[in-house]
Amino acid sequence: MTAALTCPVCAHVVPPGPSCTRCDWVLSGGPWLDVDAHARRLEFHAELTTARRSFDVAAAVRAAGDDQALLKRVLTHVRGDASAEVKIRPAEHHTEPLAVVGAFAMDLVARHGELAVVDVRLDGVAVARIDVRERHVPVLTGPVRLHAWRDLMPALPQDHDELALVLAGGVGRQQRRAPVELAELALGTSVLVLHRLPDLPIPDEFVSRFADVRLVARSEPVLDAAVVASWVARAPLRHDVSLVLVDVDAQGVTRPVTRTLFSAGTSAGDVPVEKLIVDAPAGGRDPLVLAVVSGPAGTPPRQCEPISVLRCELGPGQPHELEFRLDGPGEITLVRPRGKADEGTALRWPELLDDVPPRYRSDVNALDFAIAVELGGSADTVGARRKLAVDVLAHLAAHHPEPEAVRAAVIGYDDHRLTRAVLKSTRGFVALQDAEDFTAALPASEPIEPKGAPVEDALAVACSLPWRPLPAARRLLVIGGRPPHPPADSRISRCPHRLDWESLVARLDRDQVEHVAVWDRPAWTERPNDEARLATRAWHALASPRRPMLLSGVDAASVVEEAGAVRATAPQPPLLFPLVPKN
């Protein structure tokens, strides 16, 4: 049996042969004759010392890399003269930025569902374990653990600088034989190695066990929780991120659905924000639930994982533009409008969907209410008309089952005059409070034509209003004293705009706008003549099929009741999710 040989230069056990298979030191040669054996011994010793130093110095350079301070310290452990000049330069390797490696790591997590990231460096081997758990978001499971090299190979030296030399394959003054056993780490099947120590034999031996290896510069930040968090923040979405809405069909049947905000594969920063138009349900008084969820395309909302469940104030019965920002795979921010976290609401997901009523009618209490007020007359006369209009609007706000579902338009009509517009009106339909404020500021004016007022101009405006589709209720209230200008009558001036009030009333009837009239009947209309009869007929037509009410004998409640503006409807269960827009 042939005894194993240990190379005097690299300290490795080598098979029998003329030279070391690792460092090429000549182990044996042919017989030689030298009369000066002492000189030959000195020469051999010098050659061996130089070879040992060169071997250790090369290892020291590999161990130090570009760190000159470390190189200076490691050189104190080499065999031979440590003060001699070192001209060896470390080998250069193509490394990848840590952010690029992180993107690859997140791709592995998406494919495998878990990943062990191993950072190989001089102070040991750091291991971070990343797993995909709830919400399909990569998370760091536990702290990043550092395994010192002595934990993996107990025979390694304790001194940090000497350890670096031995890791790089050097022997050093202690004449240490390189350890041969490297402990295993239970890392699982999906492993990514960050290799910062290429060309160092012991780290290379460790790294050789793994398939996914990326070279990383030593200057890059070490693997820790902050690094993993930065990777996760840039990780592509594994599944679509969507907002939960409620779709309502023509029969009022509700169905929870999702609308995609960010598609699978999107990373934070790829798009600045995403905007989505939603409708707020009418009549809602509680903040709506904005539930942002994650799941494969087509997954029912109930089976999606919640990412963010907020409460948000949205004006009932109105469209709203929501703006979201992707800050990470599990971080979605509602940019506009502001919402607030509600732990109780979030804990009830997905049971919140059980609260969605099976049927919902957004138009069950919808009301478009227009008021035409004559402004010609004395301050007291116009003041009484104006007060009734204000009281009617206030009554609707106080007694309508869903005041938010009511829109109001106010048309103040003045006499035709060259120097002033005949109409003072809101711009279409507005909220009740805005209409009330507008009406309260309408001024009285001196009438010009004693037996005719531009009611027809107000009717033309009413016909052109953006009435909501049926079955939303449509009502027009006319408050005044003088009748409209007749299409043809030699005794009363005609409308300068050539408007025919009867045709306009017929158009309102066709559009199913129900109209009522309140008349502060002038004294001349009670005389037994044609002018009085025409005025009376006109006001009856403005109130048809009802009769005109007299201003002196009505109040806001009776006017609202006469107009049928408050319908008796069963209260609807509240709907706390936004609606899919219909327009």
Summarised one tens digit per residue, pLDDT across range 534-554 is 899 999 999 999 999 999 989
Burial (0-12, 13-18, 19+ Cβ within 10 Å), 358:
exposed
Which amino acid is located at 122 in the chain? Answer: L
Residue 215: per-residue pLDDT: 94
Distance, CA of 439 to CA of 52 (rounded, Å): 103
Cβ neighbours around 274 below 10 Å, total: 19
Give the model confidence (pLDDT) of 425-460 as tens digits. Answer: 898 999 999 999 999 999 999 888 888 889 999 999
Burial (0-12, 13-18, 19+ Cβ within 10 Å), 49:
middle
Burial (0-12, 13-18, 19+ Cβ within 10 Å), 39:
exposed
Instruction: Please tell me what DSSP assigns to residue 186.
Output: -
Distance, CA of 131 to CA of 116 (rounded, Å): 9
Length of the chain: 583
Kindly tell me if the per-residue pLDDT of 272 is higher than 80: no
Whose CA is closest to 410, among 446, 384, 373, 382?
Answer: 373
**Cβ neighbours of residue 231 under 8 Å, at least 6 residues apart?**
99, 102, 103, 105, 106, 138
Kindly tell me if the per-residue pLDDT of 36 is higher than 70: no
Average pLDDT, the chain: 86
Can you tell me the mean pLDDT for 125-139?
81
Instruction: Please tell me what DSSP assigns to residue 353.
Output: G
Can you tell me the mean pLDDT for 457-478?
92
Q: At what angle do helices 501-510 and 530-543 cross, to 10 degrees?
A: 20
Residue 572 binned pLDDT confidence (cut-offs 50, 70, 90): low
Contact 192, 103 (CB under 8 A): no
The full DSSP string for 41-57 is HHHHHHHHHHHHHHHHH
More confident residue, 233 or 218: 218
Kindly tell me if the per-residue pLDDT of 83 is higher than 90: no
Kindly tell me if the per-residue pLDDT of 51 is higher than 80: yes
**Cβ neighbours of residue 580 under 8 Å, at least 6 residues apart?**
245, 246, 247, 248, 257, 259, 278, 279
* Alpha carbon 137 to chain centroid, angstroms: 15
Pairing mode, if any, of strands 254-262 and 240-248? antiparallel
Contact 145, 126 (CB under 8 A): yes
Q: What is the CA radius of gyration of the chain?
A: 45
Residue 489: per-residue pLDDT: 64
Kindly tell me if the per-residue pLDDT of 32 is higher than 80: no
Kindly tell me if the per-residue pLDDT of 34 is higher than 80: no
Give the model confidence (pLDDT) of 479-517 as tens digits. Answer: 999 999 887 665 677 777 788 999 999 999 999 999 999
Can you tell me the mean pLDDT for 171-200?
81
Distance, CA of 392 to CA of 398 (rounded, Å): 10
Kindly tell me if the per-residue pLDDT of 358 is higher than 80: yes
Distance, CA of 320 to CA of 280 (rounded, Å): 7
Whose CA is closest to 127, among 202, 223, 218?
Answer: 223
Distance, CA of 137 to CA of 239 (rounded, Å): 10
Is 281 strand, coil or helix? coil
